Structure 1
Amino acid sequence: MSEVIVFDVAHGNCCLIRSQNAHAVIDAPCKALLLNTLEDMRITCVDVAFISHADKDHIAGVIGLLTSESIELKKLYLNPDSQKDTRIWRQLRAALKVAERQGKCEVILSLTTVMPGIVSVGEVDVRVEAPSNSFAAGGSGSTDERGRRITSNSISAVLRVTTGEHPGLLLAGDIDEVGLDDALENGRDLTARTLVFPHHGGLPASSDATSFVETIMRAVTPSLVIFSNGRGKHDNPRPEIVGPVARTGCGIACTQMAHACNQSVIFKREHLEPHRAQGQEHGASCAGSMTIDLSGDGRRLASKHSAHQKFIDDAVETPMCRPAPPETDGPDVSQ
């Protein structure tokens, strides 16, 4: 069986790929959920890890993985970011230096459509759909051909995780409209059955939210959209994002419960999967951590999806994932 677990890590991203005794990690934010989960699963070796971009909520947990004495990390892909001078980015660079000296982990400073392009993890292919080599070469702080500023989010890696010809899962990192335009202009295939929506459902920096949603939804055509969000953090996912997504008719699952959906926490757990979830202890989880089956066509397990939908119907006061009925001028009395 090949699968991806999308973890509830509050505000941040973290996924684990499992296939044929091979394992890969994509992003890892603060706290020890990733390391604790690997220990739960008795995983002592991670074949490859990918860091989508240099933000704290995507990199902090990788430091623990690099320095762990019980778990081996064989290979790490990431893009340099000369504009980052945060404490956590400096700590990551220090951990990379130690790993390099000790020969513990091969570090490749490129995560683009050209290098590595595609990485195999057991039966799973991880395809880098963004950034392009030429776009990443400019780096954060530069501008694109239209004069728009390129940020760390612009060069966030977008990874499509598939088996065979199945549509699989698209992990969009924090890509913004500038990076998304570059991917589409280069003809990249973003289609996927499940989309982990970029930037935790936050508003795009410089474009209309509805336009951004329509562009990425048209490119991906997902049947399920996941928001990896932290309850109360930046009010993500924002209604301006969730609304247009819901109107497409696809399923929606947030890792944690947004304040806009329910003002109080809900301690029901029957619908949650058994994996660790950051919000579970405090009643903040909505869908919690989710397993995507790659052996089929990249969907969540039907029983778990149904249980989550029932939880929404029974317990959530004003769920954003349920689009409001269209307004009418009155009852239809035509014969």
Structure 2
Amino acid sequence: MMNLPELIILDVGHGNCTLIRDANDLIVIDCPPGGTLAETLENLSIKEILHILISHSDADHIGGIIDLLSNKDIKIHNVHLNPDAIKESNIWRVLRIALKDAGQRGTKVSSELTTTKTGSLNIGSVNIEVLAPTPELILGGAGGTDLQGRRLTSNSISAVIGIVHDSHRVAILAADIDNVGFDNLIQDPKSFSADILIFPHHGGRSGGGDSKTFAQQVCSFIQPKLIIFSIDRNRFSNNPRAEIIEGLRSSVPDAHILCTQLSQQCAASVPSSKPTHLNILPARGFISNSCCGGTIVIKIDGSRTTYPEITLHKEFVDQVTSPICRKF
């Protein structure tokens, strides 16, 4: 039996997928394409999912949920997501059909994932917060505007999830929130500090604003000790962008930076030997030996939560040719 709940951040390449697991239940946050999530569920002998939370409608966050909903061997109790009227992709239409079919088999589908859901998604001793969007922002919707008249995109209304244990916010999963969405988030006067931050949009451009300034604002506000970029070595090879790293370094110089895969900016070729710090759970970069942090498993223990392999990861980074996380 598990003594503490777990936060599992999967190396899925370009995309996001996080699991929150305790002895009895599982929450899945975002379902990207590829087999890593399905392999992980099989590895962990998972046959039942309490909640699936979909942050927003982009393919790298929803591409895997259709197969999951169709899998008769896995019982999914609840799916939560927000509508997106401008999303006209085929995968979004197929997802809507899959949700209808799953609903007929007993899955409850909620077309709202806003701040009002905070408190209703808890798992064991872990409290799940929906920090963004607010109901009034989602009423503007993708393609509409916020209350200040700024245009909203799918990223602007991306759900931001907080993970709290023992009255301490352990992590914030920022999905693809952009500068407009983040500016709406920080209108709330309460603190949003957290030890772990999954950085927005894989370290890519933040939208219409300056990316360095965006990184400074996000990290100054959250004050993370561990910053994770979920990236694919062979897609968007400039992620995480140098100006993002520069911005976060100026705000939280002592934070540990970890990418799920080894960016081409850091090394032209992958290591010749397998790193010793990687978790044994499935990771997209395992076969090509392109993992940097790979799939990350962290025991959730309130203010005592730590990334256990941080020393070994630092030693791995020491061997990298030109690690961008140490550039500034």
Once residues 301 and 115 of structure 1 are traced to their aligned partners in structure 2, the CA distance between those partners, rounded to angstroms, is: 28
Once residues 97 and 91 of structure 1 are traced to their aligned partners in structure 2, the CA distance between those partners, rounded to angstroms, is: 10
Once residues 302 and 276 of structure 2 are traced to their aligned partners in structure 1, the CA distance between those partners, rounded to angstroms, is: 25
Give the letter for the 2:314 counterpart: Q
Other-structure match for 2:321? 317
Q: Does 1:165 align with 2:167?
A: yes
For residue 74 of structure 1, report the CA deviation from its aligned partner: 0.5
Once residues 44 and 110 of structure 1 are traced to their aligned partners in structure 2, the CA distance between those partners, rounded to angstroms, is: 25
Structure 1 SS opposite 2:326: coil
Other-structure match for 1:293? 299
Q: Does 1:23 align with 2:23?
A: no
Structure 2 SS opposite 1:161: strand
For residue 275 of structure 1, report the CA deviation from its aligned partner: 1.1
Once residues 233 and 191 of structure 2 are traced to their aligned partners in structure 1, the CA distance between those partners, rounded to angstroms, is: 32
Other-structure match for 2:148? 146
Q: Which moved more, 1:290-299 or 1:202-211?
A: 290-299
Once residues 68 and 143 of structure 2 are traced to their aligned partners in structure 1, the CA distance between those partners, rounded to angstroms, is: 29
Instruction: Select the residue among 180, 185, 188 that pairs with 1:186.
Output: 188
Once residues 204 and 185 of structure 2 are traced to their aligned partners in structure 1, the CA distance between those partners, rounded to angstroms, is: 20
Once residues 141 and 241 of structure 2 are traced to their aligned partners in structure 1, the CA distance between those partners, rounded to angstroms, is: 28
Structure 1 SS opposite 2:109: strand
Structure 2 SS opposite 1:96: helix
Closer/same/farther in 2, CA of residues 117 and 153 from structure 1, 3 Å limit: farther
Closer/same/farther in 2, CA of residues 310 and 216 from structure 1, 3 Å limit: same
CA RMSD in angstroms comes to 1.4
Once residues 246 and 272 of structure 1 are traced to their aligned partners in structure 2, the CA distance between those partners, rounded to angstroms, is: 25
Instruction: Select the residue among 51, 57, 61 that pairs with 2:54.
Output: 51
CA contact (8 A) 1:7 1:288 kept: yes
CA contact (8 A) 2:43 2:281 kept: no
Other-structure match for 1:123? 125
For residue 244 of structure 1, report the CA deviation from its aligned partner: 2.0
Once residues 141 and 304 of structure 2 are traced to their aligned partners in structure 1, the CA distance between those partners, rounded to angstroms, is: 32
Structure 2 SS opposite 1:143: coil
Instruction: Select the residue among 287, 290, 294 that pairs with 1:284.
Output: 290
Once residues 298 and 171 of structure 2 are traced to their aligned partners in structure 1, the CA distance between those partners, rounded to angstroms, is: 8
Structure 2 SS opposite 1:29: coil
Give the letter for the 1:309 counterpart: K
For residue 245 of structure 1, report the CA deviation from its aligned partner: 1.8
Spell out, residue by residue over 1:164-200, the C-alpha distance to the aligned partner (whole angstroms, 9 max, x if none): 2122010001000111111111235421100000000
Q: Which moved more, 1:109-118 or 1:70-79?
A: 109-118
Instruction: Select the residue among 22, 38, 52 that pairs with 2:41.
Output: 38
Aligned positions of 1:228-267 closer than 5 A: 228-234=230-236, 235-247=238-250, 248-249=252-253, 250-266=255-271, 267=273
Once residues 191 and 48 of structure 2 are traced to their aligned partners in structure 1, the CA distance between those partners, rounded to angstroms, is: 31
For residue 269 of structure 1, report the CA deviation from its aligned partner: 2.7
Once residues 114 and 262 of structure 1 are traced to their aligned partners in structure 2, the CA distance between those partners, rounded to angstroms, is: 44
For residue 300 of structure 1, report the CA deviation from its aligned partner: 3.8
State the TM-score, normalizing by the size of structure 2. 0.94
Once residues 178 and 278 of structure 1 are traced to their aligned partners in structure 2, the CA distance between those partners, rounded to angstroms, is: 31
CA contact (8 A) 1:35 1:65 kept: yes
For residue 142 of structure 1, report the CA deviation from its aligned partner: 0.4
Structure 2 SS opposite 1:285: coil
Once residues 175 and 118 of structure 1 are traced to their aligned partners in structure 2, the CA distance between those partners, rounded to angstroms, is: 22
Once residues 187 and 296 of structure 1 are traced to their aligned partners in structure 2, the CA distance between those partners, rounded to angstroms, is: 23
CA contact (8 A) 1:167 1:298 kept: no
Once residues 284 and 231 of structure 1 are traced to their aligned partners in structure 2, the CA distance between those partners, rounded to angstroms, is: 7
Structure 1 SS opposite 2:122: strand
Once residues 82 and 161 of structure 1 are traced to their aligned partners in structure 2, the CA distance between those partners, rounded to angstroms, is: 29
Other-structure match for 1:197? 199
CA contact (8 A) 2:164 2:302 kept: no
User: Is the radius of gyration larger for structure 1 or structure 2?
Assistant: 1
Give the letter for the 1:115 counterpart: K
Structure 2 SS opposite 1:121: coil
Give the letter for the 1:183 counterpart: L
Structure 2: segments with no counterpart, 5+ residues: none
State the TM-score, normalizing by the size of structure 1. 0.92
Once residues 198 and 39 of structure 1 are traced to their aligned partners in structure 2, the CA distance between those partners, rounded to angstroms, is: 28
For residue 277 of structure 1, report the CA deviation from its aligned partner: 0.6
Give the letter for the 1:254 counterpart: C
CA contact (8 A) 2:119 2:127 kept: no
